[in-house]
Structure 1
């Protein structure tokens, strides 16, 4: 280890554990650490660098997970001997991995524990679904082999319009409904239809980072607007960018804090959009899952001037492999969006659209949601109980009325990214709250999905792994 400088630079914004990770990677790539070389023990290196053991452990676990280091029990940890057979020294180190685990990143295997954004895959009625899809396949006609309508299957659009009228209080015709390839497909349709160069967009802070990245890539100028217990702070948006042309919001269950947009702020947001001719994109991603009281009405249901573009998804209520979502546009914008859909067709698979339509029309969807609400309330309770029993007051649980994830609060300013990295190096899929924040918000926490935690025993076991990761 002679000549190897591992002392972190605390003036850098890069977390200390990632600095350690990068320096070990560079040393291995440049040949300063050779295959088989022993690296310092976690305790010894932490003492030498005056760091917490958990910080060094997080760096080591990342290196072990990528195959650069190899633990050998009492013999310590060494640079992986297998690297001797590769031209490792000639390869520049890759950029350090983000501590934010991508909840949309899947490998076709079982989801890792605490994965966000997934329904209970074990509870989906696969036999029923296969029967409905099989019937559609057996009854396909020659006409059904052609290109599907760019706006979506007519039967599915009619079923969605009927469902929204009953469950979300949205009065819309099937002609206003566009079926898209996931939520980002809906955002793409909005941007291609309405966005102009340099448009400003209010964006919740913290807010859904996949939407944030997509909109930035589409050329939107995002204006982070703080969120508090009453949701988006509309007055702050008016102060920061009164002339914005868009606002992207999650009013029923804010992503990721879980709060609901108050009625006063809903009305203020609609007043601003009406006065400015701005567009509000309402992402109603998991409003079906509410465990206390009835689901809140959609913002779109009180939109009298046609300024709300409403989006929903089947990823959270059925399964994400469908890649099906939908967008409801005001009547006066149907032709504009229809033209865009014809030019930039997403062509969601016709078989899947038809099967979802049958699932809705035949009443299976309503029964499935009722079953899932009961199941998720139970699984959420198991996780909350296990967190309290295992971690006590180290985490403060924000228990909201609905949703399919929990926010476990940490002290303001805590390094939630390092803690998430340590947990994820142990096979968990924990997201740090700070990864969803754009501004100076000091709130910190860990986001935990609970839908695929099968029972109380599994919840306790997983919380034990989380406790070990937090140190």
Structure 2
């Protein structure tokens, strides 16, 4: 039996956009398709390849798991891992080039890739996978027949209770578990609110610039988006009143405005609450990354100031845990619980109970709080390193905004450069960026790059990618 050696696989590229596990997967798949590795050939053990390549064991196992899931390799216990017997080698399906990746990214606001500076991703390299795997295995072993029926459409009761306790301590929100509805993500949350409280023809304030999917979702529901300008104090309530005093709702990001990262001032918070109370309007607070503030303790949520029951608080686990779990939640005023129960029953959405049970255990045993504390420290370090690295290379062409928190940097382009054109060229080169003008309604938007820093591990890495961006300017 032939035993493949790592040297027979093309070397890995530390500067490539593809993560190492994906590079290993691509190389083994290519070797099998080309006949370099034949059915029945033994491939190196994960332990051996770990030593050979100097990578983490988990990286190798991730690549092998993907190969096994697609039927390329089989584990044979003590006999090792082999290329699947009887496998008929075929030319591999064309792996998307950087150009086709650009098309994919352009078609999806949140692509299913892991690229340098990709928005919306936490530090995936630092996620506590061993703890997660242990809790997951325990949850699976503990499953009973009662856990296998249709889950509650409102969310797992234990998870709703843990979220309520967490919000009281961390965000200053006092609510009962019955006020919390577990959803499958922010879009599901907005859809739920739209069906429960809004109707076609209603007008809703949106921050400008602001999160593009929100206006897209409202447009599908025939709800008119009213762009309200944002300045250093957050959304301009006075401008909103001038533009649409009788708007039915306002969608805001008070902790770190998305995408400018400014915090909504206390005066603006009180003015917004006053407007909602006087006009019987609703405030939808999107607290997507409120935990990540670096200049002081995280600010209390706007919901914590809500005495009139006008604020609906939307949270998510995508930024603090993993986007792939598709888990978020909505806190509604007590007077709206029955209405949201009716709408939730009609829509019958929700997330798998096993996933919810895993997150419940992660929170209950203290891992969630410790993870956020670690990430807050890590992100402060990575933000500083990324900003320093990019500034050293791109300082003559861009200015990096100073901001109190968040998970991305804002690079203001000097001169009359187009952020959209630069982003398109970055996508072609395997780098990710978003154009501030794409987040802006109207034609008056400033030109800037939005670059996530959570997966940039050092100043040197930022400098390497910065030089690649420099070559595109």
Alignment TM-score > 0.5, same fold? yes
Which aligned pairs between 1:180-199 and structure 2 lie closer than 5 A?
Answer: 180-199=183-202
Aligned residues: 378
1:374: which partner in 2? 377
276, 280, 283: which one pairs with 2:283?
280
SS at structure 1 position matched to 2:143: coil
Matched, 1:384 2:418: no
Work out the CA distance in 1 between the residues paired with 2:215 and 2:458: 34
Provide closer, same or farther for how the CA distance between residues 97 and 412 of structure 1 changes in structure 2, counting only shifts above 3 A. farther
1:222: which partner in 2? 225
Taking only aligned residues, the RMSD between alpha carbons, in angstroms, comes to 1.8
SS at structure 1 position matched to 2:396: helix
Deviations 1:283-323 (A, max 9, x none): 00001111111111111000110000000000000000010
SS at structure 2 position matched to 1:393: coil
Matched, 1:399 2:402: yes
Provide closer, same or farther for how the CA distance between residues 219 and 131 of structure 1 changes in structure 2, counting only shifts above 3 A. same
1:264: which partner in 2? 267
Once the two structures are TM-superposed, the CA of residue 106 in structure 1 deviates from its matched residue by 0.5
Once the two structures are TM-superposed, the CA of residue 375 in structure 1 deviates from its matched residue by 1.0
Deviations 1:208-243 (A, max 9, x none): 011221121122100000011110011110000001
2:110: which partner in 1? 104
Work out the CA distance in 1 between the residues paired with 2:290 and 2:128: 21
Once the two structures are TM-superposed, the CA of residue 456 in structure 1 deviates from its matched residue by 2.4
Work out the CA distance in 2 between the residues paired with 1:99 and 1:179: 28
Contact kept, 8 Å, 1:99 with 1:418, in 2: the verdict is no
Work out the CA distance in 2 between the residues paired with 1:270 and 1:412: 39
Work out the CA distance in 2 between the residues paired with 1:171 and 1:326: 15
Contact kept, 8 Å, 1:99 with 1:421, in 2: the verdict is no
Once the two structures are TM-superposed, the CA of residue 411 in structure 1 deviates from its matched residue by 3.7
Once the two structures are TM-superposed, the CA of residue 377 in structure 1 deviates from its matched residue by 1.1
Deviations 1:151-170 (A, max 9, x none): 00000000000000000000
Work out the CA distance in 2 between the residues paired with 1:179 and 1:345: 12
Which aligned pairs between 1:152-167 and structure 2 lie closer than 5 A?
Answer: 152-167=155-170
Structure 1: segments with no counterpart, 5+ residues: 1-61, 68-95
Work out the CA distance in 2 between the residues paired with 1:456 and 1:442: 30
Matched, 1:427 2:430: yes
Which of 1 and 2 has higher RCO (CA within 8 Å, sep 6+)? 1
Work out the CA distance in 1 between the residues paired with 2:250 and 2:98: 43
Which aligned pairs between 1:312-461 and structure 2 lie closer than 5 A?
Answer: 312-411=315-414, 414-461=417-464
Work out the CA distance in 2 between the residues paired with 1:100 and 1:114: 15
TM-score (norm 1): 0.78
SS at structure 2 position matched to 1:225: strand
Once the two structures are TM-superposed, the CA of residue 442 in structure 1 deviates from its matched residue by 3.5
Work out the CA distance in 2 between the residues paired with 1:373 and 1:102: 28
Range 349-358 or range 412-421, more displaced: 412-421
Structure 2: segments with no counterpart, 5+ residues: 1-95
Once the two structures are TM-superposed, the CA of residue 97 in structure 1 deviates from its matched residue by 5.4
1:17: which partner in 2? none
